[in-house]
Structure 1
Amino acid sequence: MLCLTYLLYFGQLGVLVPYLGIFLDGRGYSSEQIGELFAIITLARIVGPSLWATIADKSGKTLGVLQLGCVLTVISFATIFWQNTFWGLALSFGMMMMFWTAVLPQLEVITMQSVKSAGSNYGTIRLWGSIGFILLTVSVGQALDFFTTDVPIYASMITLTALMISTLFLSQPDKLNASEEQRGDFFKVVKHPAFVIFIISATLLQVSFGTYYGFFTLYLRDLGYSGQQTGLLIALGVVAEVVIFIYAQKLLNRYSVGSLLAVCGVLTALRWYALGGWGSSDIVVIGSQLLHAFSFGLTHAASVHFIHHHLPAHFHSRGQAIYIGIAFGLGGASGNYVSGQIWQQGLNAYEAFTFSAVMALLSALVFAIFSYKKWHSK
């Protein structure tokens, strides 16, 4: 059931992330407004994860928090069907994101605890999320060739409802024993140089994703790609992600987390720059999507590995929450806003992707400069 939950959760990402810009563009919003709305929505990821994770860690009811988050997500998302104004949509999407942030950190904690007790591999479970992303991305992309730009909203409602139902069949892993729960000061743990370096680098990398998340589908549309072709290209990136998840543990056993994340940052910078400079080339677009294996796949596996091994067990939810809240929330919102201001209806696509490339390169440099002395996780 964990596999199905991952499939539905990331399947929803496969609807919302690539096609929200298409939906908003269909409603007549400018690139500046799309970037601003993406930023507003993403800002909800700053407060939400820490709030939910604190409740989960202190109550010990990780599964209950996850299930409640799914219920409230469905309720808040349903209000989108009655919203027609910019601020109305921003409120509905923002509330939905606030509650949705309760899901992934708790799901990651439950999965890592289950994997540890069962002796299985996190990557083999997490790859089902990538499969879900592929299925929904391709399906919605094809549907957009035949139906209106409201398709992503209807698909999201169905997927979120199915996700809520799937969580009802999950079970809470056995509580970790006392020897594994070494008590300590949470703020002292997260102020450790290694964790600070990790958060700074992760945030810069998510800033770099702003242009991709906000405007990639619009960029391909402007270049003449159909909805089906766009869906297949996005799916290709996730196929590459699935492959890297299979081998992620072997790479983590062989190389340090810092080294892997530094390499991922460099490859991501190359990805964004090539996409902005030579996006009209099919080979470049395909190559850039294959690099998603490193930009997201290996980066995510290494990040979850680091949090699980660097923080004591009873801080895992809050550690995941800080990672998601600051990196994806603050970093993602900043990237969405800046790229929206640069984009100018696609006239400054090269400049926007170059901005993203610089941010990804800075992310890699943070590790390259500091990880040798201060990175101790492997």
Structure 2
Amino acid sequence: MRGNPDARQGAIALHGFYFLYYGLQGVSIPFLPLWFAERGLDSAFIGLIVATALLPKILSTPAVAHVADQTGRAHALIAAALIGSLLLYACYPLAATPAWLFAVTLLLNAVFPSVLPLLDRMAIASGRGQGNSYTIIRACGSLGFALMTVSGGYLIKTHGVNWVMWLPMLMIVACLAMLRLLPRAARPALDAAPATPGVTPMRAVLRDRPLLLCIAAASLVQASNGFLYSYSTLHWTAQGLSTALISLLWVVGVVSEVLFFFAAPKALARVGAPRLILISAVMTAIRWTGLALTADPAAIAALQLLQCFTLAGNNAAIMWHIAARAPATAKTSAIALYALLSGGVFMFASIQLGGALYRHYAPGGFLVMALCALGAVPLLRRARASRPAGAD
């Protein structure tokens, strides 16, 4: 890469693109529920929107990943998804009824999440299967999330909740401007092994039982964030915390996440990907249990430090495992399966169960998240039993 200016430019662009992509989520995930509440929606309907909006990616993400694995047209697919997302964000202020807000959110979540598996495929390809480059690139995403959460919290407090819409639109425009600089490493022609005749990329992933179980386990850990993403801001606001303070609490978690991403390659080399997912599941369950027991800002900040396992450890481990184990022509599909389970099927169930408890006992949603994370443990044991002797 040192001797290739185009490769260096592509790597820099990929770091910046992750920063913007996750920065957008750093505004929308914590504060979009507040924008919905400002429009007069009650907490039950907000929870329904947030949870149900996770489902469209179940169809769109694997479909886009399949096309990317088969054709290598990642850039065109990303451009289409970003343009669609920009148009849908622009529709939000025009949506006058809860039904229209619901419809716009469903469409947005069919389009925007399909970008991530394509980016992740580029990132793990840039590391040539070792995961080192991915963890640093992904850390830039976490930095973007943290900085935009702080900026969003300040702008919302100072200038009003409509910045929940303006900031994402500005970042999508910036992503589109940067798109042509991204590397073209996601093309299947760059991978060594051809696809098995008659076997689709997704089917190849589903036939690998140990890989499938590890993806499912990591997805449960990631999906356990459901209550945090959908109700925690409402819960902490009701406990008297300001949006500025809440944004700082989010940042505490993201900072620990960023630091762990830099340490992840050494941790993975030492304990292996499945074991790191297991450790992350247990530490995540401890985090959610603690958050169910306190609304003290100092205690919340301490527990937020465990996000280094919930996000960084778990995510780095599953990407490392996919890079090492998934067939070369099915890596995007493997990443898409993780995305649709962690941010779709399992996340939907997590939010629905957490929301049901929230309406009767608000901290109970965190306890549901703890059980969700612990659900990864038996899956990892089965994955270990299914692996050949001596395998990671």
- Structure 2, unaligned runs of 5 or more: 1-12
Cα shift at 1:289: 0.9
User: For residue 297 of structure 1, what is the amino acid of its counterpart?
Assistant: A
The offset of 1:372, in angstroms, is: 3.1
Segment of structure 1 superposing worse, 111-120 or 36-45: 111-120
1:1-378 mapped onto 2 (5 Å cutoff): 1-116=13-128, 121-173=133-185, 175=187, 180-184=192-196, 185=199, 186=201, 187-278=203-294, 280-344=295-359, 348-367=361-380, 369-375=381-387, 378=392
Q: What is the Cα deviation at residue 297 of structure 1?
A: 1.0
CA distance in 1, matches of 2:109, 2:78: 13
Q: Which runs of 5+ in 1 are unaligned?
A: none
Cα deviations by residue, 1:159-197 (Å, 9 ceiling, x for unpaired): 222122221322313856687224223414422221231
**In 2, Cα distance between the equivalents of 1:117 and 1:312?**
11
Task: From the superposition, tell whether residues 43 and 99 of structure 1 become closer, same or farther in structure 2 (CA, over 3 Å).
Answer: same
* 8 Å contact kept, 1:38–1:337: no
Measure the CA separation in 2 of the matches of 1:189 and 1:135. 36
Given residue 360 of structure 1, which amino acid in structure 2 is its aligned partner? A
Instruction: Note the C-alpha offset of 1:123.
Output: 1.6
The alignment-based identity, stated in percent, is 25
| Post-superposition offset of 1:88 | 0.8
Q: Is the 2:129–2:323 Cα contact (8 Å) retained in structure 1?
A: no
Q: CA offset at residue 342 of structure 1? A: 2.0
CA contact (8 A) 1:69 1:102 kept: yes
Which structure has more relative contact order (CA 8 Å, sep 6+)? It is: 1
CA contact (8 A) 1:262 1:365 kept: no
1:337 and 1:117, CA in 2 relative to 1: closer, same or farther beyond 3 A? closer
In 2, Cα distance between equivalents of 1:111 and 1:352: 34
CA distance in structure 1 between the aligned counterparts of 2:224 and 2:69, rounded to whole angstroms:
31
Please tell me whether the aligned partners of residues 31 and 341 of structure 1 are also in contact (alpha carbons under 8 angstroms). Answer: no
Q: TM-score scaled to structure 1, two decimals? A: 0.93
Contact 1:67 1:168 in 2 (8 A): no
Question: Residues of 2 paired with 1:150 and 1:178: CA distance?
Answer: 44
> What is the Cα deviation at residue 288 of structure 1?
1.6
Relative to structure 2, which stretch is displaced further, 258-267 or 71-80? 71-80
1:264–1:364 contact (8 Å) kept in structure 2: no
Q: Deviations over 1:109-164 (max 9, x none)?
A: 11222232999622222211111111110011112222322221122111222122
CA distance in 2, matches of 1:86, 1:323: 31
TM-score, length of structure 2 as denominator length: 0.90
Match of 2:4 in 1: none
CA drift at 1:290: 0.5
